[in-house]
Amino acid sequence: MKKQLFIITLILLFIGNQSFGKTYYISPRGNDSQSEGPLATINGALKLILKLKEAKNKEEVTFIIQDGTYPIESPILIDKQFANLNFNVLFKAATPGKVIISGGTALKGFKVLPNGWWCLELKNYSINNSHFEQLYVNDKRAIRASTQYDNKYTLRDVTQKMIVVNAPSGKIETACQQFRIDSEHLKVLSKLSPEELHQVSIILYHKWDNTIKRIDSINVTDNMLFVSGEKMKPWNSLDNSSCYQLENCKYFLNRSGEWFLDKDQRLYYIPRPGEKPDQSIATFSTQNNLLIIQGDKTSKIKKLTFKGIAFKYTGYQLPLGGFEPFQAAVSIDATIQIDHAENIVFDDCSLAHTGNYGIWFRQGCKYCRINHCELKDLGAGGIRIGETSIQKEESKKTGYIVVNNSIIQGCGRVIPEAVGIHIGQSAYNEITHNDIGDLYYTGISVGWTWGYTASETHHNILAFNHIHHIGWRRLSDMAGIYTLGISPGTRIFQNILHDIQSYSYGGWGIYPDEGSSNLLIENNLVYNTKTGGFHQHYGENNLVRNNIFLNNSVYQLQCTRVEKHHSFTFTNNIVIWKEGTLLGGPWDQVQIEMDNNLYWNSKKAPVEFLKYNFDAWKELNRDIHSVIEDPGLEFTGKNVVFKNKALLNRIGFKLVDFRNVGVTGSEEWKAKARLSKERLDEYKGI
């Protein structure tokens, strides 16, 4: 006993003599220039870090940031002079969520007009740049004056011609496009001066893309509208199925929550129910970025952790030439942008009200982590990992990024084809236990190689994610999970994907697109999609097993291209439906292995495999050991129960516990992942 006490005493003495790091404080009432007391900004903290580096400090450094809003006039920059630190740095909010790094400018003092609108004279403020295109009132995104989205408003008579324009750099060829649009919209636009007309944007939705152009001119007699810019892409041009909206016209200001800024710097706003002018704050931002971490291939930034911090308010301004279509909005940058960094951690942080993507681990990033973070109300998408080009140098490759237990919702509010999480040419990433929902295009997109050419996308894990309420019938050719190119070692398992509604074709659950190969897709639950739970365009050696595809609409399953090699194996799956057809595409011609599956039409209608009955289907060496029987499904959300377990054993189906899918932790955290009743009701009404 005495010996044990002696050892404990030595341990306590050892601990007492150890330094566990240095702690400093940042406060809205601090001062960066004083030698003692709290600092005032993160930039002040960065200067101190450089002094500690110069002093060869090796202890962990913690900056505890006191509650408050910390406005920035330019992005916080952590560049290569912070490389090769010999100590970890933690920026920690004193109270999680109560520390706000803000790129916003706050405006107060609305006056009420006789018609009930509010007005604010911005010329009374000392604002360096008052041109903005996103506005937030009482911490909620307001709507720029526009026509409401309605799929009855489509282009007609789309034509294009090329003209040569003289420019300082020489002659430039540009495309002029003309569209016939709704006559009532043209009548409204005809009230504008040429200067005002050119400030109006037309937002165009075409298949998986979005184009935004400023209006050049109109012809009211012929209901024609004219724009110019790049030539339409031949693989996805505008046509008479393309929907449109018109934005930034004072005559479209007619709904609560809408705003308009006129040429005389008068801001008009129609209040939402319950809002009061003397208690309301309007916020805008003209900054694209809040935080830039920028090392280089020889000077990596390492060992930075951000904990409990909220990042808010960045903007996006439409270029003079407009926004040209890019799949997944990969031409858009991010509020937090990171290059050549390792061991960067965002833990329990939040990010909201952006004009662009949320966080982008761009070039040369490895071993970074996003955990228990909330990203909501985003102009583009949530998180980007890697680039679209293949980097030959290992130091420039991005990989080994973890996104775990995070909420990514409300994407695409400015650029609708953005995705929740986009993985480009990047490998060994883990996307787990996230809730991704309420966006207009794809939930998770993996890969950036079309066909069977070289790809750096491989060994990615997508597991235990809840992906839901995708599409909203605005775009097409989308999925809960979308893949491209050869991707050995990539596993997609135990995800729940549901409520995916495209505008026309292509509202799928899991979609291996062009060249997607060597994927393992297993133990997923897919339900309530428009076009099918699973669709393989073309690929090689994919394994689709032990999944549940439930109550999808047009088709349950699709495949498209017939190739000479083995395309995929479809085995041990359960497919149950009550409307639409079982198969779409040449399932009788594609080189596949298809067996030990269960099919059941819950309306007890005959099950047909394309033009074949079950016996004829088996003669094609398809589903020889599969069954058409009722498994006794009981399904309520994540709880999937089958009464007929013997039937499941017969096809080799292994029961999957979906109760742990999505975010984990406290009930409060899980509640944050639930869409509001208002938003769910809106989804039901589309």
pLDDT at 394: 96
User: Residue 676 burial by CB count (10 A; 0-12/13-18/19+): exposed, middle or buried?
Assistant: exposed
Is residue 408 one of the residues assigned to a domain?
A: no
Identify which of 561, 607, 567, 554 has the alpha carbon closest to the alpha carbon of residue 585: 561
Give the residue-averaged pLDDT of 540-553.
98
Cα distance between residue 117 and residue 647, in whole Å: 64
Is residue 274 one of the residues assigned to a domain?
A: yes
- Residues 122 and 112 grouped into a single domain: yes
Specify the pairing of strand 532-536 against strand 507-512: parallel
Domain boundary among 210, 237, 252: 252
User: Residue 32 burial by CB count (10 A; 0-12/13-18/19+): exposed, middle or buried?
Assistant: middle
Is residue 264 one of the residues assigned to a domain?
A: yes
Q: How many CA atoms lie within 13 A of 378 on its CB side?
A: 38
Q: How many other CB atoms are there within 10 angstroms of residue 74's CB atom?
A: 11
- Residues 266 and 134 grouped into a single domain: yes
Torsion, Cα of 470, 475, 480, 486 (10° steps): -160
H-helix or E-strand spanning residue 302: strand 301-307
Give the residues across from 374 on adjacent strands. Answer: 350, 407
- Residues 136 and 258 grouped into a single domain: yes
Is residue 222 one of the residues assigned to a domain?
A: yes
Give the residue-averaged pLDDT of 55-80.
97
CB 244 within 8 A of CB 212: no
Structurally, how many domains does the chain consist of?
Answer: 2
Is residue 205 one of the residues assigned to a domain?
A: yes
- Residues 175 and 116 grouped into a single domain: no
- Residues 165 and 193 grouped into a single domain: yes
Identify which of 476, 505, 525, 490 has the alpha carbon closest to the alpha carbon of residue 636: 525
pTM of the complete model: 0.95
Res. 287: pLDDT tops 50? yes
> For residue range 345-362, what is the model confidence (pLDDT) as tens digits?
999 999 999 999 999 999
Is residue 524 one of the residues assigned to a domain?
A: no
- Residues 231 and 260 grouped into a single domain: no
Q: How many CA atoms lie within 13 A of 666 on its CB side?
A: 5
| Average pLDDT of the chain, as a whole number | 94
List the structure tokens of 407: 């909420």
- Residues 207 and 223 grouped into a single domain: yes
Res. 13: pLDDT tops 80? no
Q: Sign of the CA dihedral 617, 619, 621, 627?
A: positive
- What lies within 8 Å, CB to CB, of 177 at 6+ separation is 158, 159, 160, 213, 226, 227, 228, 229, 232, 238
- Residues 110 and 241 grouped into a single domain: no
Query: Any idea what the Cα angle at residue 640 is, between residues 635 and 641, rounded to 5°?
Result: 95
Give the residue-averaged pLDDT of 463-474.
98
Cα distance between residue 315 and residue 297, in whole Å: 29
- What lies within 8 Å, CB to CB, of 406 at 6+ separation is 370, 371, 372, 373, 374, 375, 434, 435, 663
Is residue 430 one of the residues assigned to a domain?
A: no
- Residues 131 and 247 grouped into a single domain: no
Cα distance between residue 596 and residue 650, in whole Å: 8
Res. 9: pLDDT tops 70? no
DSSP 103-164: --EEE---EE-TTS-EEEEGGGS--S----S--EETTEE-EESBPPP-TT-B-EEEEEEEEE
User: Residue 430 burial by CB count (10 A; 0-12/13-18/19+): exposed, middle or buried?
Assistant: middle
Torsions phi, psi for 410 (to 5 deg): 75, 45
- Residues 221 and 184 grouped into a single domain: yes
Q: How many other CB atoms are there within 10 angstroms of residue 10's CB atom?
A: 10
> For residue range 566-610, what is the model confidence (pLDDT) as tens digits?
999 999 999 999 999 999 999 999 999 999 999 999 999 999 999
Domain boundary among 196, 229, 252: 252
Res. 20: pLDDT tops 70? no
- Residues 128 and 263 grouped into a single domain: yes
User: Residue 16 burial by CB count (10 A; 0-12/13-18/19+): exposed, middle or buried?
Assistant: exposed
pLDDT at 5: 40
Residue carrying the six token digits 């030959």: 392
- Residues 194 and 122 grouped into a single domain: no
User: Comparing 172 with 235, which gets the higher pLDDT?
Assistant: 235
Give the residues across from 301 on adjacent strands. Answer: 341
Q: How many other CB atoms are there within 10 angstroms of residue 158's CB atom?
A: 19
> For residue range 106-144, what is the model confidence (pLDDT) as tens digits?
999 999 999 999 999 998 776 666 689 999 999 999 999
pLDDT at 128: 60
E strand intervals along 484-614: 491-493, 496-500, 507-512, 516-517, 520-522, 525-529, 532-536, 539-540, 542-545, 548-550, 555-559, 568-571, 574-577, 581-584, 592-595, 598-601
Read off the pLDDT band of 638 (50, 70, 90): confident
Is residue 268 one of the residues assigned to a domain?
A: yes
Percent of the chain with pLDDT over 90: 92
pLDDT at 15: 36
Q: What's the domain range around 275?
A: 105-145+253-284
Read off the pLDDT band of 169 (50, 70, 90): confident
